[in-house]
Each structure stands twice: as C-alpha cells, then as structure tokens.
Amino acid sequence: MSYTVNSLASGVDGYFIENSRFNTTLISFNFYLPLNRDTVAQNALLPFVLTTCSKDYPEFSDLNFKLSKLYGAELIAVSEKVGDFQLLKIGISVISDKYTLDNEELTSQAIELLLGLIFKPAVESGEFKANDVEREKRKAIEHILGELAEKRTYAKGRLIEEMYKNDPYGTSKCGTVEAVEKIDGKALYDTWENMLKTAYVRVNVISSELPAGLFDKVSNTFLKIDRKDVTDFTRTVPTKVSLKVNRIDEEMNVSQGKLVMGFSSKLSGSDKDCAALTVMADILGGGPYSKLFLNVREKQRLCYYCAVRAVKVMGLLTVDSGVCKENMEKTEQAISEQLKAMQNGEISDLEFNSSMKAILDSFKTYNDSQNLLDTWYSIKIADKKPITPEELSDIISKVKKEDITDAARGIKLHTVYRLIPEQKEAL
Amino acid sequence: MTRQYFEGPLGEGYLKATHESGLEIYIMEKPEFSSSYALFGTKYGSIDTVFGIKGKEKVTVPEGIAHFLEHKLFESEEGDAFSRFAETGASANAFTSFDRTCYLFSCSDRFYENLEILLDFVQSPYFTEQTVQKEQGIIGQEIRMYDDSPGWRVMFNMLSSMYKEHPVRIEIAGTEESIAKIDAQLLYKCYETFYNPSNMYICIAGNIDTDKTLKLIENALKPSVPIEIERYDFNDNEKVLKQYTEQTFPVSIPIFTLGFKRNITSGEVPLKEKVCMSLLLEIICGESSPLYASLVKEGLINDEFSSEYFTGRGFAAAIFEGESTNPKKVASKIKSRIAELINEGIDKKLFSAVKCEMYGDAVRRYNTVEGSAMQLVDGAVSGYDIYDEIKILKNVTADEICRYLNYFDCNNTVLSVIKPEEEQ
C-alpha cells in the first residue's frame, strides 16, 4: 500500500495514505523542530495547550463537549524525540460519516475543529491566556513527576539521560520541572509562532478518501505564514563509541531491580541502512525465539523479561531487564555472552529463519492499524521520502547471516544503568 | 455443529457455531484486512479458586494457579509452542484475567497452520514437577514486577479492602508463597475441569474463510465429553471491609482508585446495566462533565483520570482512578456530585453528547482485527451478542439511566491511595 505526497508550502508536505479498511479518519499535523534543552519544555507544552482550547472554544469543557458530540472524536497531542529532533504531533481521529446515527457530516467538522486548534488558538495581545498555560503547566509537571512511578520506563529514561549527557538526544522529551515552571503566555506564543514559521511539517491523512479541500486549506494557511529557516530534519548525529563503559547504580525501595544496557551501533540512520541491525536486534532479544528469551529467561531463569530495542536513527541498541538484586551481575554477563556469540557468527538457521519470518509477517500488519501507519509516517526522518512497510520488508528479506554478524560486531557497550533494590528488599 | 449468523450495524457480521462438544466458535470475516487474530480461551481465571465437577468433591486450589497454568501450557513433551509459531512467523501470546484465560496469535500468512498449532498446544497439557519448579522462578520475577507497579497496587489494595471473600480481591498471578504450593497434579486437576471444550470458546477476526476454518477446527478437536462445572458464590454482599487504604511507594504524586461497591447476588450484571452505568460514569465525571472541568481547574486531577464499570462473575464496582495531590477531596466531590444528580436529574444535552461519544467508541473497537476478536471474546464470556451494546446505545433514554444512579452507594466505597514516601 503506497501513499501520495503533495507539497503544500515551503517545508510543508501532505501525505495521503489511502486505506479503506478503517471505520475512522485520522489526520495528524507533525511539526519537527531541533531538539535542545533550552526549548524542549515550551515546545512540548504547545500541543497540550493547543488541544485544550482555541479561539472558537476558549473553555476546555466546551471543547470536550464538542468532541463528545462528534461521536467521541479523539484529539492527539504528542511530544516525542525522533533522533536529534523534537516531534510535536497534533491530530484528530473521527468515525466516518456513514456510521453516525443521523448521517451527520463529522469529518468536515473535525477538520475545521483541528485547523482552528492549530491556527486560531486562544490568545490575547500576543500571549496565550495565563489560565490555560498554568493549567497545562501543572499537568505537564505532574506528568514529568509521574514518570518515576513506572520503574521500567524510568530506568530506560535514566540510561538515555546518562548516555547522552552532552547531546540533544539526552534531553527529556517534556523537559524539566524547572523549565516548565518558567514558561509564560508570551514565551508560549513565541514558541507557537516559531513552530509555524520554522518547523518542517508533515500532514498525514489516513482514510479511504482524501477529504475534499483539506490540503488546499492547509496550503493557503501556510502560504500566509512567513516560512523561513525551515528545519532540516534529516541530520541526526549517531551515537559515539564510548572508550570506557559508563556505569551508574542507583538504589530505590523496590522489590525488583532493573538492568538497562546501552550500546552504540556502527550501523545508524535510515531503515534501509539499518536492515541488518533490525534483524540482529530481533535475533538477540526480539520474540520468544530470541537468544535472550531462550537462554537468559528460559534456560537460566534469571528474569521475566529481557528485551532488545534498536533506535536506528541514533545507532543505539538497548537491552532492558527486570532482575533481582543477587542476579544483576549474572544477568549482565549472560546478556554479554549472547551478544558475543552473535559477534562470533553463532546464528543458527532456526534463529535466522524464525526472526526473518516474524519480522516480515509483522510488516504486513502495519496497513491494518491507523495508529501504526501514522507513527510509521511520522518517525521516518532519516530519508526525505519515507520508505513504505512493503519496501522495507523487501530490503530486509535480502539480509544475510554475514550482514547480521557484521552488524553485531559493530555493537559496543556504552553505558550500564542499574536500579538496585534497597537493603530492606521485600520478599 | 449448529450455526447462527449475527448481522451488525457496521456492514459486517459474525458467525457463532456450537460444536457437539459444547465449544463455541465465533468468526468475523474481515477480508479487507491483511492479517488475522485468533484466540482460544476458557472461562477460567484467577477468581476460580474453589470449584467442582458435578457429582465430585469441591476443590480449593492455590491463588495464581490459572495464570501458572497459562504459562505451563505453552510447553509440551516435544518442545514449546513458541518454537512452533516461530516456524510460521506468527506472533503468539496468552493472558489471564479475573474470569478468563486466552491463548492467541496474530499473523498475516499461514493462518490455518497457525490455527492448527493453537488448537494442538492448548489441547495438549504436559506438566512435570521439574518444569513446574522452573516456572516458579520466572513467575516469581513477574510477581515482583507487579509489586513495583503503583497502578497495579492501588487497584488491588482497593479490591482487597472492598471484598472479604470474593477472590477478585487476590492478585491474578498469586504470591510467591501461593505459587510455591502448585504442583503438576493440581495443574492437571484445573486443566481437566476448565479446559473441557464445553467451557471454552474460539474467537477469530480477519482475512479468513469461515467454512475452511470450521472444518479445520472440527478435525483438530480431540474427543471429549461435556461436563458441568460447579462454581461457588461468595457471600460478599455486605459493606466494604475498609473505606480507606493507603500505601507508601517511590512515586512523586499520589495515585488513587475510588470504588463504589455494588452488591450483586451471583453471575454477571446484565449488559444493559453495564452500558447505563458507563454512560453515568461519563455524566458524573467524564471529560465533558462540569465536575471534570472544575476538578481540572482546581488542580485536583490531570489527564490520567479515568473511570470504569468493573464487572465480572459475582462482582461489580464503579471505579474512578487517577493522580491527585488530594485524593480525599476528589472522592468527596465525586460523591457530592452523585448526590446532586440523584436530586436534580441529568442534563439532557450532556446525556445526548455522551451517548454519541460512547456510540463512537463502540464503532472504533472494530477498527482492528485484534479489537474485533476481543469483542467476540467479551461476548463469548458474558453470553451476549456483541452488537447488543450498539443497539442499547441507540435506544437508551436519559430517564432510563437515571434509575441506575441508585446503584452508586456513597456509603459503601473504598478509597485506595498510593502516597509518595516523603509524606510518611
């Protein structure tokens, strides 16, 4: 299944991903800005302020009421890191008109609503209203503080923070509590203007048909904006090799410890360039046929989960596991042994075939999920024109065992983060 | 095999077939999709700790055994089921909840081969003392993972304060102590009772052929004689055990669950009640409600706030949960709002908006093969036609739902709070 690209204005592209199997239409505006510590917090706050009020709906309760009447249309607000860039996503998902109780025209109303939220916010004299800003700041701060609650996410976040201390990628995607506290209505207005003027913009539409006039409206709106210095979102600096393994231990009152290992990869960048890395990561710790699942979990019984993830655009590979305190060293050693086996070319036909089949099968499911498709077409930033799931599937099917061994040899341990249960460990 | 076709309002439908063994098969063809999703499930979950087969003695088994059995069923004498799915490229998994255990796979290719594997491994138990012991270590780690999850803890602290007898109060995976009591013999006893096809269902949605699928299932089913399982009601129709419970945890902001216990005699609440109570939850404190707006404005809740009508065999509770710097104040405001609604009635405009919203949500659930198959499972476990929800939503009136407001007993509630350690 393919897509069409329409250039709507300078640095603004409209992607129509035609797909008739869904009951809903999904439209997302994806704004890409450079990721840096000075601006990340106010950028991150923007999608949340913009999706809770607007000039037409100054009170968020009025907006919520309208969304309910649109059959529970769902607004999407996201701040995400994609390589060295910050992705701000603002979107809407609405059920198709034909499913309404009284043949109502939902899609056109949803589009008007979304455009109003992005381009006609609730501002006065060049500032967002203090009430709106303070409300969303409070929620953002609680969200940042809330990240401590889920220890697996927290531990993975701490690894990235330590691994990229001096690089943009080490920036937390929502910024710090201190940075959020400093944001005011004027600063947020400037952030909004900057986003509209300088962000590279990708508008994804996933539907059976392109809503009439949508791209023209978007195009006309952006042509009125003085677009300059548009972000070149294709340049991400890959992870550097660390000469010495960085080790961080922290103690907490938990019953299970967390072991997270971060590796640099020689392969980095686009999906095409990282095809071998994708298969390598999957054989090491993807499905239940992987080396870590079969050896570290099933054979040595060291943990319940031990999962590998490759962040291709960064040339980063992580392994994360929940283990008890006394097994921390043993688990790290077991993980390293499995990686070493791959570097020595120890990849059985069974492992290779199982992984290939699972990866290739999973690519076919992308077209069955609107959310997966939207994510796919918003995080593919290493190439100006994103690859389709079918194209990538074709490239991956050509990966050979030698390529995988070579990719494994390019993996170097960079940082180990351990969250260790305090002495009074519960049983 | 008997067959019945159900036409849906979204231009699609599903078939329900009942095999001679009592096994129910639900199939929704979705030919426009590339993939398929299949589950083989049993009406057996963590709450089934005391049971019997008609004419035989009553058995009490250790907590967490249904979940343990789920883990063990993937193993057979020849190897594990995961390695068989690895040959086809399917993604396989399983889950256990309060009232069900399901084994599942999703795939884009080789559906019929995958279905054969699913049918075979679920019908082929293989438990030995050695493999049981091995699993105790892995599940022990899984239990510790849940112990560290404040979202999980706040819910189970609420349930164990709400129910004195009903096993919904116990952890789905049990405890490290309770699973230590599990042995191969007990696993076989549970298997022979609950994995009889008369207590099971197969639910499939996706790009498949119904006739071919039914034929394959019929050929793959092992001979069996239907049995009558005796489940025992728990006498829990009384006040909650504790109205307030709290635990300290390494979190930065308090997390809470507020539950309104609804006393039910036995079985499950009717679908109409579920729909009406869900509508009421939205009217009381859904995102379009005045209370939600005022709680956000006062800084008392954030985007984590949600509500649910939590029901199953022998239990029902209306639940509000979220993060708050002052959970007690949130609880008190919710109760006051319910009292107001009982006195003043329901805003018709809000009712109509919330009805649209829930209708839209129901339509969305069929947007994926997974969502469609999970709907079929809900229907199979609860015994209703999955499209009944949409039909009820179309016809329900504001006056009708008003009477369900009395199901919120403000004197029979539990507030469970997870507090940051610093506040100790």
Residues A46-79: pLDDT tens digits?
Answer: 999 999 999 999 999 999 999 999 999 999 999 9
| Closest C-alpha to B247, from B238, B239, B255 | B255
Task: Indicate whether B318 and B224 sit together in one domain.
Answer: no
Is residue A34, in this structure, part of any structural domain at all? yes
Q: Which positions 10-29 of B are in contact with A (Cβ < 8 Å)?
A: 10
- For residues A89 and A176, the answer to whether their CB atoms sit within 8 Å is no
Is residue B410, in this structure, part of any structural domain at all? yes
pLDDT band, residue A425 (cuts 50/70/90)? very low
CA A412 to centroid of chain Cα atoms? 24
Is residue B238, in this structure, part of any structural domain at all? no
Contact A358 B89 (CB under 8 A): yes
Contact B141 A322 (CB under 8 A): yes
Bridge pairing between strands B306-312 and A316-323: unpaired
Task: Indicate whether A384 and A310 sit together in one domain.
Answer: yes
| Closest C-alpha to A254, from A145, A148, A159 | A148
Put simply, whether B106 touches A (Cβ < 8 Å) is yes
- Of B187, B208, B231, the position where a domain reaches its end is B231
Is residue A290, in this structure, part of any structural domain at all? yes
- CA angle (A202, A207, A213) in 5-degree steps: 65
Q: Which residue of B has its CA nearest to A286?
A: B91
d(CA A284, CA A334): 12
CA distance B171 to chain A (A): 15
- For residues A24 and A95, the answer to whether their CB atoms sit within 8 Å is yes
Task: Indicate whether A184 and A273 sit together in one domain.
Answer: no
Is residue A236, in this structure, part of any structural domain at all? no
Task: Indicate whether A191 and A254 sit together in one domain.
Answer: no
Task: Indicate whether A161 and A260 sit together in one domain.
Answer: no
- Of A208, A223, A238, the position where a domain reaches its end is A223
Task: Indicate whether B181 and B97 sit together in one domain.
Answer: yes
More confident residue, A201 or B423: A201
pLDDT at position B237, please?
74
Put simply, whether B137 touches A (Cβ < 8 Å) is yes
- Of B200, B231, B262, the position where a domain reaches its end is B231
DSSP element (H, E) containing A189: helix A185-198
More confident residue, B11 or A268: A268
Q: Name, in order, each residue with C-beta under 8 angstroms of A193's C-beta and a sequence gap of 6 or more.
A: none
Task: Indicate whether B180 and B326 sit together in one domain.
Answer: no
Task: Indicate whether A189 and A251 sit together in one domain.
Answer: no
Is residue A50, in this structure, part of any structural domain at all? yes
Q: Residue A265: beta bridge partners?
A: A411
With a threshold of 0.95, tell me whether the complex ipTM lies above it: no
Looking at beta carbons, which residues of chain B come within 8 Å of A149? 150-151, 249, 251-252, 255
Report the amino acid identity of residue B146.
Answer: Y
Write down the number of H helices and E strands in chain A. 15, 13
Question: Is 90 exceeded by the pLDDT of residue A298?
Answer: no
Task: Indicate whether A214 and A258 sit together in one domain.
Answer: no
Question: Is 90 exceeded by the pLDDT of residue A384?
Answer: no
Q: Which positions 77-116 of A are in contact with B (Cβ < 8 Å)?
A: 94-95, 99, 101
pLDDT at position A243, please?
94
pLDDT at position A424, please?
58
Task: Indicate whether B209 and B251 sit together in one domain.
Answer: no
Q: Kindly tell me the burial class for residue B121, based on how many C-beta atoms sit within 10 Å of its own C-beta (0-12, 13-18, 19 or more).
A: buried
Q: In a mutagenesis test of the B interface, which of A142, A176, A283, A306 is the best target, namely the one with the most B β-carbons within 10 Å?
A: A142
Provide the residue range defining the domain that includes A274.
246-421
Report the pLDDT averaged over residues A194-220.
Answer: 96
Please provide the average confidence, as pLDDT, over all residues in chain A: 94
Bridge pairing between strands B200-206 and A257-265: unpaired
Is residue A76, in this structure, part of any structural domain at all? yes
pLDDT at position A421, please?
93
Task: Indicate whether A115 and A147 sit together in one domain.
Answer: yes
Instruction: Record the tokens describing residue A426, joined without a space.
Output: 């519960």
Task: Indicate whether A51 and A146 sit together in one domain.
Answer: yes
Query: SS3 sequence, chain B?
Result: CEEEEEECCCCCEEEEEECCCCCEEEEEECCCCCCEEEEEEECCCCCCCEEEECCCCCEECCCCHHHHHHHHHCECCCCEHHHHHHCCCCEEEEEECCCCEEEEEEECCCHHHHHHHHHHHHCCCCCCHHHHHHHHHHHHHHHHHHHCCHHHHHHHHHHHHHCCCCHHHCCCCCCHHHHCCCCHHHHHHHHHHHCCHHHEEEEEEECCCHHHHHHHHHHHCCCCCCCCEEECCCCCCCCCCCCEEEEEECCCCCEEEEEEECCCCCCCCCHHHHHHHHHHHHHHHCCCCHHHHHHHHCCCCCCCCEEEEEEECCEEEEEEEEECCCHHHHHHHHHHHHHHHHHHCCCHHHHHHHHHHHHHHHHHCCCCHHHHHHHHHHHHHHCCCCCHHHHHHHHCCHHHHHHHHHHCCCCCEEEEEEEEHHHC
Task: Indicate whether A207 and A258 sit together in one domain.
Answer: no
In 3-state terms, what secondary structure has residue A391?
A: helix
d(CA B202, CA B23): 8
In 3-state terms, what secondary structure has residue A202?
A: strand
At B127, which CATH number?
3.30.830.10
Successive 10-residue mean pLDDT values, chain B, 424 residues: 92 95 97 96 96 88 96 86 91 96 96 97 94 88 89 96 94 94 95 97 97 98 94 83 95 96 87 97 97 97 97 95 97 98 95 96 94 97 94 94 95 97 60
State the catalytic residues of B.
70
Question: Is 70 exceeded by the pLDDT of residue A426?
Answer: no
pLDDT at position A135, please?
96
Task: Indicate whether B195 and B309 sit together in one domain.
Answer: no
Q: Which positions 37-96 of B are in contact with A (Cβ < 8 Å)?
A: 80, 82-83, 85-92
Report the amino acid identity of residue A389.
Answer: P
Provide the residue range defining the domain that includes B400.
244-423
Q: Residue B60, Cβ neighbours under 10 Å: how many?
A: 9
**Whole-model pTM?**
0.93
Q: Which residue of B has its CA nearest to A94?
A: B360
Bridge pairing between strands B413-420 and B101-107: unpaired
Task: Indicate whether B180 and B259 sit together in one domain.
Answer: no
DSSP assignment of A297-329 equals IIIT---S-EEEEEEGGGTEEEEEEEE-GGGHH
Task: Indicate whether B272 and B218 sit together in one domain.
Answer: no
Contact A368 B147 (CB under 8 A): no
Task: Indicate whether B24 and B90 sit together in one domain.
Answer: yes
Tell me the count of A-B CB pairs closer than 8 A: 189
DSSP element (H, E) containing A383: none
d(CA A163, CA A178): 22
Put simply, whether A310 touches B (Cβ < 8 Å) is no
DSSP state of A239: P
Put simply, whether B365 touches A (Cβ < 8 Å) is no
Q: What percent of chain A has pLDDT over 90?
A: 88
Task: Indicate whether A326 and A274 sit together in one domain.
Answer: yes
Task: Indicate whether B142 and B277 sit together in one domain.
Answer: no
Q: Residue A138, Cβ neighbours under 10 Å: how many?
A: 16
Task: Indicate whether B293 and B192 sit together in one domain.
Answer: no
Task: Indicate whether B320 and B390 sit together in one domain.
Answer: yes
Is residue B239, in this structure, part of any structural domain at all? no
Q: In a mutagenesis test of the A interface, which of B148, B177, B292 is the best target, namely the one with the most A β-carbons within 10 Å?
A: B148
The residue behind tokens 């897509």 is A3
Based on the structure, what is the number of domains in chain A?
2
- Of B205, B231, B257, the position where a domain reaches its end is B231
CA distance B177 to chain A (A): 9
SS3 content of chain A, % helix, strand, coil (to 5): 45, 25, 35
Task: Indicate whether B412 and B308 sit together in one domain.
Answer: yes
Question: Is 50 exceeded by the pLDDT of residue A207?
Answer: yes
pLDDT at position B423, please?
45
pLDDT digits (tens, 9 = 90+) for A212-241: 999 999 999 999 999 989 998 888 999 999
Is residue A426, in this structure, part of any structural domain at all? no
Task: Indicate whether A144 and A82 sit together in one domain.
Answer: yes
More confident residue, B41 or A146: B41
Instruction: Record the tokens describing residue B329, joined without a space.
Output: 């104040």
Is residue A231, in this structure, part of any structural domain at all? no
Give Dmax over CA atoms of chain A in angstroms. Answer: 67
Based on the structure, what is the number of domains in chain B?
2
Task: Indicate whether A75 and A119 sit together in one domain.
Answer: yes
Is residue A310, in this structure, part of any structural domain at all? yes
